[in-house]
């Protein structure tokens, strides 16, 4: 029987449908990663309800050998998010690496496209670019049978833009002029989608909800975590009181068998907590601008966990402490820094888990298994899937952990492999591409190389001979 954990949940419709990338890092030819379900009928609860005829999966794992391109795929997605949310200053080079093992790639443009679900609609948003400029950009609303162009940027068009729909939706001449002016003034190295937001066009023109929905998906829904990161930039969580927050942490830590019997929050002086200014200022701004006084920010710094909340015109700081039982049954408090690496990794991930279970988040995580026992990784997926039956969050993980390769936990279309060919090009394929019975355990076949996503080791005898010759010489 699956374990479940009941937390407050938020209904949401924001998810990733599909992503493609071309001429970026180790991806030479166009490569596609899809969250669209295959033909399998098992584990229907892993599929989110369809929006305009399009259903998507809630989980996926991506496996491959070292240097196969798993991390490059996530770096490509992170670059796309960066371009939408921040971008490079006007006149500056677009700093990224094309595929370097093919001479023609240096002279070719790069391309990426996100297909997403946001605010009850399906969108396709993408752009073609190089190190100096955005060559093309497009946004479509799509259904299973049709697509509607919202805007397109292309040098073939007069003025480089097709804005017909945006202009049609906005009847006021001043609104039309605002849109045209923004398009004309968009720097060559920046995205039109972003410019409509940062120039506050979407705030002042009435019919740009599609623009806002897509931008907010990148800003708020898409969350990418690399191994060197902690999910510690401040989770905003609507929690009525400390007791409720303590209960959430207690139950999750108990769920994962950490030996912790409870947690508590102790007040600390803000001056005693060293937090980078850019993180602290961002947290303060969000808390102060929140409409609710119950919103808290959960922050991890140097293996200490803090809870920040609004207090008057300033912030209240509290430190999370863990509770253990002594041999005589008395409670004793620990700092989180005194817990094991594995326990601290779980504590780091708890805000992420809360976000997942509450909904409205797409998490893409590289090497989630660091400092975690394989069974805990399994349990995280199991917890998410058993607690998110009515939610639309997604958990996508690139991993080396082969113990996750079981159809007891995943559908075939949720398992992807990354392979680097002899030309150094990364390619992706799904377990769905193979004729594998639903009841077959696949880990052994993976380790034997059937799915081509394991390290290729050279001839050890040739290596031994080389070493011997060197030592004898």
Residue by residue, what is the 3-state secondary structure of 189-220? CCCHHHHHHHCCHHHHCCCCHHHHHHHHHHHH
Give how far the C-alpha of residue 16 lies from the chain's centroid of Cα atoms, to the nearest Å.
9
Q: Give 102: exposed, middle or buried? Use CB within 10 Å, 0-12, 13-18, 19+.
A: middle
Q: How many whole angstroms separate alpha carbon 110 and alpha carbon 140?
A: 20
Q: Where are the beta strands (DSSP E) in 120-189?
A: 121-129, 134-142, 147-153, 161-162
Residue 430: inside a domain: no
Residue 177: give its domain's CATH number: 3.40.50
pLDDT at position 269: 94
From residue 421, alpha-carbon distances to 98, 190, 289, 434 in Å are: 17, 33, 50, 19
Digits of tens for pLDDT over the chain (473 positions)?
Answer: 344 454 444 445 799 999 999 999 999 999 999 999 998 778 888 999 899 889 999 999 999 888 889 999 999 999 999 999 999 999 999 999 999 998 899 999 999 999 999 999 999 999 999 999 999 999 999 987 889 999 999 999 988 999 999 999 998 999 999 999 999 999 999 999 999 999 999 888 988 999 999 999 999 899 998 877 665 555 555 555 678 778 888 888 888 888 999 999 999 999 898 888 888 888 888 888 777 777 778 887 887 888 888 888 889 999 999 999 999 999 999 999 999 888 888 887 887 787 787 777 899 999 887 757 777 888 888 888 887 666 788 999 998 888 888 888 899 999 999 999 888 999 999 988 887 766 567 766 666 565 665 555 455 455 455 555 555 55
Strand duo 222-225 + 362-366: pairing: parallel
Question: Which domain range does residue 141 map to?
Answer: 15-24+71-224
For residue 116, is it within any domain?
Answer: yes
Is residue 150 included in any domain, yes or no?
yes
Question: What sign results for the dihedral spanned by CA atoms 412, 415, 421, 427?
Answer: positive
Beta strands in 400-472 (DSSP E): 415-420, 426-430
Specify if 253 maps to a domain.
Answer: no
217-226 burial code (b ≥16 CB/10 A, e <16) = bbeebbbbbe
Helix, strand, or coil here: 160?
helix
E strand intervals along 204-269: 222-225, 235-238, 262-268
In 421-459 the beta strands, taken as DSSP E runs, fall at 426-430
pLDDT of 401: 81
Helix, strand and coil in the chain, % to nearest 5 = 35, 25, 40
- Going by their DSSP bridges, the two strands 314-325 and 331-335 should be labelled as antiparallel
Q: By CB neighbour count within 10 A (0-12 exposed, 13-18 middle, 19+ buried), where does 387 fall?
A: buried
Q: Which residues contact 205 (CB under 8 A, 6 or more apart)?
A: 170, 175, 178, 179
User: What is the token pair recorded at 374?
Assistant: 């394989």
At residue 19, the pLDDT reads 98
Report strand pairing: 235-238 vs 262-268: unpaired
**Eight-class DSSP state of 57:** B
Question: Is residue 195 a contact partner of residue 90, using CB atoms and an 8 Å limit?
Answer: no
Give the model's pLDDT for residue 362.
94
Whole-number Å distance between alpha carbons of 111 and 31 = 10
Instruction: Please state, in angstroms and rounded to a whole number, the distance separating the CA atoms of residues 244 and 296.
Output: 12
Paired tokens of 214: 């897509």
Q: Are 263 and 322 in contact (CB under 8 A)?
A: yes
Is 7 domain-assigned?
no
Considering the domain boundaries, does residue 337 fall inside one?
Answer: no
141 close to 104: Cβ distance less than 8 angstroms: no
Structural domain total, the chain = 1
47 inside domain? no
CA pair distance 395, 364, nearest whole angstrom:
6
**Kind and range of the H or E run holding 332:** strand 331-335
Whether residue 320 is contained in a domain is answered as no
Which residues, in sequence order, are bridge partners of residue 121?
A: 118
Nearest 5°: the CA angle 32, 39, 68 is 30
d(CA 55, CA 47): 7
Strand ranges of the sheet holding 222-225, from the earlier edge strand across to the other edge: 222-225, 362-366, 394-399, 59-64, 415-420, 426-430
Please report the pLDDT score of residue 3 as a whole number. 47
């Amino acid at each position: 029987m699956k374990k479940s954990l009941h937390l407050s949940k938020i209904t949401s419709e924001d998810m990733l449908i599909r992503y493609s990338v071309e001429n970026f890092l180790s991806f030479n030819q166009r490569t596609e990663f899809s969250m669209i379900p295959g033909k399998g009928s098992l584990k229907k609860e892993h599929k989110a309800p369809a929006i305009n005829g399009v259903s998507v999966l809630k989980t996926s794992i991506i496996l491959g050998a070292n240097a196969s391109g798993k991390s490059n795929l996530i770096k490509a997605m992170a670059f796309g998010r960066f371009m939408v949310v921040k971008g490079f200053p006007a006149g500056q080079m677009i700093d990224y690496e094309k595929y370097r093992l093919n001479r023609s790639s240096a002279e070719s443009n790069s391309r990426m496209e996100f297909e997403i679900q946001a605010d009850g609609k399906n969108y396709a948003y993408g752009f073609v670019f190089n190190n100096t400029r955005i060559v093309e950009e497009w946004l479509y609303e799509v259904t299973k049978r049709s697509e509607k162009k919202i805007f397109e940027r292309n040098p073939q068009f007069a003025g480089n833009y097709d804005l017909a729909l945006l202009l049609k939706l906005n009847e006021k001449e001043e609104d039309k002029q605002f849109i045209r002016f923004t398009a004309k003034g968009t720097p060559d190295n920046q995205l039109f989608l972003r410019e409509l937001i940062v120039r506050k066009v979407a705030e002042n023109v009435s019919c740009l909800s599609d623009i806002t929905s897509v931008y907010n998906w990148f800003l708020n829904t898409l969350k990418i975590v690399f191994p060197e990161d902690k999910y510690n930039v401040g989770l905003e969580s609507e929690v009525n009181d400390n007791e409720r927050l303590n209960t959430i942490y207690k139950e999750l830590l108990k769920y994962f068998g950490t030996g912790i019997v409870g947690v508590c929050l102790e007040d600390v002086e803000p001056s005693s907590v060293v937090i980078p200014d850019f993180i602290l200022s961002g947290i303060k701004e969000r808390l102060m601008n929140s409409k609710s006084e119950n919103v808290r920010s959960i922050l991890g710094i140097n293996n200490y966990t803090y809870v920040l909340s609004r207090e008057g015109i300033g912030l209240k700081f509290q430190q999370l402490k863990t509770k253990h039982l002594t041999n005589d049954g008395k409670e004793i408090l620990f700092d989180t820094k005194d817990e094991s690496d594995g326990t601290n990794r779980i504590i780091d991930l708890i805000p992420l888990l809360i976000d997942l279970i509450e909904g409205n988040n797409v998490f893409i995580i590289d090497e989630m298994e660091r400092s975690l026992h394989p069974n805990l990784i399994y349990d995280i997926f199991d917890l998410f899937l058993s607690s998110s039956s009515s939610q639309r969050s997604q958990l996508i993980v690139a991993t080396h952990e082969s113990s996750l390769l079981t159809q007891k936990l995943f559908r075939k279309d949720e398992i992807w492999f990354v392979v680097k060919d002899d030309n150094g090009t990364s390619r992706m394929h799904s377990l769905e591409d193979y004729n594998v019975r639903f009841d077959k355990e696949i880990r052994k076949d993976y380790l034997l190389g059937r799915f081509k996503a394991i390290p290729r080791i050279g001839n050890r005898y040739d290596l031994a001979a080389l070493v011997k010759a060197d030592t004898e010489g």
